[in-house]
């Protein structure tokens, strides 16, 4: 996984508790920020899917390059 994707992934993971807990007081929010929570979950899923897709394509190219040398 690229460095910038890891940084964005960390921000998304930190966003989940912020959506549920008030940062200033530490208490649970009475109406939690549900759109923020689901946006963080969706961001995490998108990053993981994109990263695995990119790694699979790189692996396929490396395998094709290795096979063509013979």
Stretch 27-48: mean pLDDT, rounded? 93
Query: How far apart are the C-alpha atoms of 43 and 41, rounded to whole Å?
Result: 5
Averaged pLDDT of the chain: 91
The percentage of residues in the chain with a pLDDT greater than 90, rounded to a whole number, is 67
Predicted confidence (pLDDT) at residue 61 exceeds the cutoff of 80:
yes
**Which residue has tokens 């009475």?**
30
Neighbouring-strand partners of residue 44: none
Query: How far apart are the C-alpha atoms of 26 and 20, rounded to whole Å?
Result: 10
Instruction: Give the start-to-end residue ranges of the domains of the chain.
Output: 3-68
Stretch 14-26: mean pLDDT, rounded? 90
């Amino acid at each position: 996984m690229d460095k910038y994707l890891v940084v964005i992934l960390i921000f998304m993971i930190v966003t989940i508790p912020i959506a549920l807990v008030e940062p200033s007081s530490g208490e649970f929010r009475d109406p939690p920020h549900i759109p923020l929570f689901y946006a963080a979950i969706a961001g995490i899923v998108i990053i993981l899917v994109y990263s695995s897709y990119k790694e699979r394509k790189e692996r396929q190219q490396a395998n094709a390059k290795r096979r063509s040398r013979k």
